[in-house]
Every structure is written in structure tokens, then in C-alpha cells.
Structure 1
Amino acid sequence: MKKILKGKFDRLRQLSNASGTFSALAIDQRGSLESMVQSSMPEGVYTGEYAKEFKRLVSKELTPYISAILLDKKLGISAISAKSDTCGLILSYEKAGSEVFSTPGKIPEILLNESCKRMVDFGADALKVLVYYNPDDDFDVLDKKHAFLERLGNEARAAEIPIFVEPLVYDNTVTDQGTKEFAKLKAKKVKATVAEFSKSKYQIDVLKIELPFNYKYVESFVEKENSTVLYTKEEVKQDLIQIGELASCPIIYLSAGVPTDVFRKELNLVNNSGAKYSGVLCGRATWQDGVSIYATEGAAALTEWLQTTGKQNVQELNKLLDHGATPWYDIYGGLDNIEVVEQSY
């Protein structure tokens, strides 16, 4: 019997759809989104208000069709106010990834002016924390990240708010993650990371993970005769199944910035493998094509795009989830095998 605190249980239900899966949209990008919008505008035009409006419009138009949205409080306050009441709210709880990635050891940091309790009081249904993770790193680096997650888990338990942890794998020698060399390492690193973060000491509620392959080198994606095939479809299938078996908490997949049609093909691969997963937290694959439309044609044009293409992007993903994702509570044996408990101090 799996015991889950009532606050966490109620919020996980709020964040998932009627089928018990997570159809979630990520638009918590901060500096990277500002750069995307600014680069599409004439020089000297951009202000931070444009990124805020972009998020607000995405939230207003797409949240009626998803179970949860991931936002930030730096640029996303108006987007939070604009979301549908039926859509759960996940808030970023860490410094932007760009601020951490270039630092020694890539040690994660929590926003200094926030706490789990403050986020709960603000209305969050869950918190998301990104952690750059290399399972082959030096002990000192790993120990700091493990301790960070243990503290985070205890704080979230006290506030009874679910934690979505997003581990992004890297290597200290092969630093270009788009290369064949890194693609050869990726599946092993993702599996080792899932195995580590599934340990009960971290109290992670949902793992938001990368797909364990680079689609450019998968047998079914390679189009040119001189392209390199690093993974057969059978190898990908086995990696996905093993990840599902290693996880002791629900896992959801991120889109990692790939084009919309590519992410659909990737999810089809997951579905056809029969591997266990409980949904997606999809970002740029859903809305990135709207950035240039907004920057060059304005809010009305973006609204029209969101109401048509953006909505279709979401609905196509929802169809894929209907065919392959399993309820988050199935990893615990189903709702009948969960005991909802009150907090004890």
C-alpha cells in the first residue's frame, strides 16, 4: 500500500486529467524566451513586456485543453491569471538553467526569495526543479546534488506540495549534446539517473525526463543514406521499457525543443514500445512556431495561430497520450492501492 499525503494527492489529481495522465504545457522559460522573441523583432523594439504578453496569450488560449501548465513568477504572472480554472499550476522553483549550466559542477539553486510554503500560498499545485546531472560525475558534485534533492524533498513534504524534478543529463568530456558521441552515452546516463532519483530518500513525486535517444540517429528517423544509425527501433524499445521499470514514481517526457512533428514521432515510438509513462510536459514543440508570428504580426495574429495550429498541436499530443500513457497512480498499483494520509508532526 502506497501512502501519499492528502495535500500531495489532491494536487496530483488536479494536475492530471480524467484519465490520470499529465497533459502538461511548459512555458517557464525566462531568458531563453526573451531571446527568442527579441531576435524575431527589429532591433531596439523589444521590452520584457512582450515575453509576458506572449506567455499570457499562450496560457489563455491553450490551458482549456491541457491538464497543467508550467510557468514562472518572473515573466508569467499575467499568464497565471489568464489560465483556465480547470488547469493545474506548476511553478518553477529554481534559478534559470542558463544561470546554473555554466557554473562549476552545475549545482542547482533554489530561488532565494521563495519557499515551498510561499508557492503553496500563491496557488501552486506543484513545483518544478531542474537539475543538471551526470551520474558519472565526481563524488563531491554528486553528493551536493543528492543533498540538495533530499532537502527539497523534505521541504515539499512539509508543505504537502508535489515536486516535479527534471534531470537533464550531460557529460564532462563530450560536451556537445548534439553529437553522435553523446548520443551513444545518453541512454545509459538517463537510465542511471532515473534509477538514482527513484530512491525514496528524495521523495520525488514525478520525474520529468528526457527521451533516452537522439532522434537524428534512430533507425526510423534517419532519412539520408549516408546518415548514421546509432539505435535500432528494437534497442530504443528496450531502453524505454527499462526506464519504465526502473522508475518507482511516475515519469513524464519532455520535448527538449524538438519540432512538433518530431516529438509526435518520438511519442509514437514510446507508445509502440509498450513502455510505462504517465504523460508529457511539452514546451517549445507546442508553441515555438508562434514566436515569430507574434514578433512580426502582433498579438491578434498569435491569438489566431493559437486557436488553430496551437490548439491542434495540443490535441494531437492528447490523442497520443490516450493511446499510450498510463495513469500516474498505476505505478503504485492503482488508486485502490493508495492510502491518503494526513500530515503528522
Structure 2
Amino acid sequence: MSKNITENKMKRMQKLANDKGIITALALDQRGSLVKALQKATKNAGKDFDMEMVYDFKKIVISVLSSYSSAVLLDEQMGFKAIKAKDPKTGLIMSYEETGYDVDTPGRLPRLIPNQSAQIMIEKGADALKVLIYYNPNDSDEINDVKKAFAQRYGTEAMAAEVPTFFEVVTYDDKYASDSLEFAKEKPQLVIDSMKEFTKDIYHIDVLKMEMPFNYKYIAGWNDDPDGQSAYTEEDAKKYLRDLSDAATRPFIFLSGGVPTNVYQRELKLAGDANVAFSGVLSGRATWADGVDIFVNEGEAGLTAWLETQGKQNVEDLNEILSTTAKPWYDIYGGMDELEIIKRPKL
């Protein structure tokens, strides 16, 4: 499967991946969820919260950990200090979507940040763009046609700007809680069907950022609770991973989804055992979440010390796992030799 790619996009893709073509990226574009986590931690500690804590937390994490990652994912709204603090050799992926969704409008519809564009973000240093979309393949056409059109506009704009697109899909079903057994049973097909849709050429997506096609809490033997309910066996989970991989026609990476660090590592090893052709990770809370309470209670010095030891170890452990499980992003097209580099004239 050969692939045409412009010279500028190729240079940016190479900056986002390590020298083996694996994307070992750190995600810290959380906005509303990080605010809530810091508010909870300050309340528990009997302290006052202010927004500077969010800006500073992001800056400190990125200043310490970015040099161990091939790229970092940040938002400019709350991560403007972090963007300046990142290692210059590390690629920068910038969020293009507004955080959250309007709960009063059915369908969890996506919205772009109104004062941003692909070109503006490139001028601010972005090597790639990212949007998140909530998607249920079984929703009505009225809802999903809006999301498909949104994805096409995003991909087409970025294609014109010659900047790589990361497209994050988070599945849901409003009938069930996201952590319920009922949703766990649905999730594999929702994730796989989402891959089948957004891997299509019409969207011009360069890298799909996908969930694991299961909820680890419902894999038999993965739950320490002897009375815990299960939705699938470990062999089922491996099959879902293979089905997801088989559906892909372009590179994809796994998000961490807020699971504990050891669970995320176990999930990635399972993907390796299943010979899944994924190209890396964008790991967020699984890498840095434990630092939130430390920052609130011990300040910058305490967080920095934790990041330089456990935080760094979390990243290096992931990098080690990826070195034996992940595949270069260009392998989906048959290897580097199958990429046809196109040089566009300057406008």
C-alpha cells in the first residue's frame, strides 16, 4: 500500500516519532479534567485553588519529561507555559478542539477552538494537530453525519497546510455508564467500527488515536475482586485487538484512557502478544496523574523530584515496552520505501 506524502508533512512526522518510527508521545492537553483534579486535591489538602496551578503543573511536567518523549500533546489555552518549556527536539502536537461538549445538545458534538486554525498553530510551533471526537457508530445519521463532516473539514484543512492530523476517538453509549458491564460488552464493536469509519481516505487522517477495544476491569482474571463480573476473556481481548488492527489502513496509536500505569503497560504488552500493528502511544494520566497530589502538597520542588524519578521511570518503562511491541508508523504503507515524497511549490 504506497502512500504519497508531502515533504513538509514528512519532516513533521519524523519529528513526532523516534528514530525507529515509533510515536512515544506524552499527552497533557487535559483542561477541564485537570482543573477538577487539582481542585479536588487542593480541597483535600485544605488549600485554595487558582488557575496558575494548572499552568504551572503543565509547565513543570513538560519541562522534566518532554526530553524522554518523541512528542508532547498540549493545548495553548492552559498549556502556553508548557509549550515554551518543552525540549526543542521534541515534537509538538496541539489540540484544536474545545474541551468537553454541550450536555444540553444531543450527540456530544465536537467544536473547534474559535481563534485557532491549522496555519495559526503551525506558526506557533505545532508539528501536528489533534482533535477529539466522541463517537457512537449506532447513533442516528443526523448526529453522525455532523461528526463525519467535521472530520472531513479538519483533515482537508490540515492537508492543505501540510501538517499531520491526529484524530482521537472516544466511544460512548448514552444508555449506559462508561464503566458499566453493559457498556463493556458493547465497547469492542464500537471501537472497531469507529476504526473502520475514520480510517477511510475521505477523512485525510494521518494518525488515529484509539481506545483499547475493551474495558480492562471486565477481562476475566484482570480484576482482583473474586466476585467481579467479566465481559470477556483475555483471549477475547486479544482477538478484539487483532480485529482493530486488521481494520486500520493508516497508522494508529493507543491512548491511555486514564487507567493506572501498570494496567496501561499490561494492555500494551497484550497488544504486542496479539501482534497488533500499532505505532505507539499518546500517554496522559497513566504517566503523570500521581503527580497532582504531590504538586498540591509539596509544591514545585516535590513534583520535580517525583518527575525526575517515578515520572521519568513511567515514561522509560513505556518506551521499553514500545521498543518490542510497536511498529514504525510507515509500516502500514509497506515501509519507508513505499512513501512517495512530494515537494509542493510555495504559494
- The TM-score range, normalised by the shorter chain, is over 0.9
- The question of 1:138 aligning with 2:140 is answered yes
Q: CA deviation at 1:164?
A: 0.4
Q: CA deviation at 1:299?
A: 0.4
Q: What SS does the aligned partner of 1:326 have? A: coil
Q: CA deviation at 1:34?
A: 1.4
Q: What SS does the aligned partner of 1:219 have? A: coil
Please, what TM-score do these two structures have when normalized by structure 1? 0.97
CA RMSD of aligned residues (A): 1.3
Gaps of 5+ in 1: none
- The question of 1:72 aligning with 2:69 is answered no
Aligned match of 2:88 = 85
**Could you tell me whether the CA contact under 8 Å between 1:101 and 1:132 is conserved in 2?**
no
Aligned match of 1:107 = 109
Deviations 1:106-152 (A, max 9, x none): 11111100100101111100111000000001011111111111111
Amino acid at match of 2:77: K
Deviations 1:277-323 (A, max 9, x none): 00000100100000000001100000000000000000000011011
Q: What SS does the aligned partner of 1:226 have? A: coil
Moved more, 41-50 or 102-111: 41-50
Q: What SS does the aligned partner of 2:92 have? A: strand
Structure 2: distance between partners of 1:306 and 1:222 = 29
Q: CA deviation at 1:103?
A: 3.1
1:173 to 161, 172, 175: 175
Structure 1: distance between partners of 2:240 and 2:147 = 25
Structure 2: distance between partners of 1:256 and 1:241 = 19
Deviations 1:34-68 (A, max 9, x none): 12112211556211111111000000100111100
Q: What SS does the aligned partner of 1:128 have? A: strand
Aligned match of 2:97 = 94
Structure 2: distance between partners of 1:189 and 1:63 = 33
Q: What SS does the aligned partner of 1:298 have? A: helix
Q: How many residues align?
A: 343
Gaps of 5+ in 2: none
Q: Mark the CA change 1:101 to 1:10 in structure 2 (over 3 Å): closer, same or farther.
A: farther
Moved more, 226-235 or 114-123: 226-235
**Could you tell me whether the CA contact under 8 Å between 1:129 and 1:164 is conserved in 2?**
yes
Structure 2: distance between partners of 1:279 and 1:135 = 25
Q: Mark the CA change 1:129 to 1:101 in structure 2 (over 3 Å): closer, same or farther.
A: farther
Q: CA deviation at 1:104?
A: 1.9
Moved more, 277-286 or 220-229: 220-229
Structure 1: distance between partners of 2:256 and 2:249 = 22
Amino acid at match of 1:160: E
Q: What SS does the aligned partner of 1:167 have? A: strand
Q: What SS does the aligned partner of 2:107 have? A: helix
Aligned match of 2:219 = 218
Moved more, 122-131 or 228-237: 228-237
Q: CA deviation at 1:222?
A: 2.5
Amino acid at match of 1:126: A
Q: CA deviation at 1:101?
A: 5.5
Aligned match of 1:52 = 55
Q: What SS does the aligned partner of 1:131 have? A: strand
After TM superposition, the structure 1 = structure 2 runs for residues 108-123 of structure 1, keeping only pairs within 5 Å, are 108-123=110-125
Aligned match of 1:316 = 317
Structure 2: distance between partners of 1:96 and 1:341 = 35
Structure 2: distance between partners of 1:167 and 1:223 = 29
Q: Mark the CA change 1:25 to 1:113 in structure 2 (over 3 Å): closer, same or farther.
A: same
After TM superposition, the structure 1 = structure 2 runs for residues 258-269 of structure 1, keeping only pairs within 5 Å, are 258-269=259-270
**Could you tell me whether the CA contact under 8 Å between 1:126 and 1:163 is conserved in 2?**
yes
Q: Mark the CA change 1:68 to 1:310 in structure 2 (over 3 Å): closer, same or farther.
A: same
**Could you tell me whether the CA contact under 8 Å between 1:218 and 1:233 is conserved in 2?**
yes
Q: CA deviation at 1:237?
A: 1.0
Structure 1: distance between partners of 2:226 and 2:259 = 22
Aligned match of 1:15 = 16
Deviations 1:240-266 (A, max 9, x none): 111111011111001100111111111
Q: Mark the CA change 1:44 to 1:303 in structure 2 (over 3 Å): closer, same or farther.
A: closer
Aligned match of 2:236 = 235
Q: Mark the CA change 1:101 to 1:168 in structure 2 (over 3 Å): closer, same or farther.
A: farther
Deviations 1:180-220 (A, max 9, x none): 00000000000000000011000000000100111111124
Moved more, 250-259 or 226-235: 226-235
Structure 2: distance between partners of 1:185 and 1:2 = 34
Aligned match of 1:158 = 160
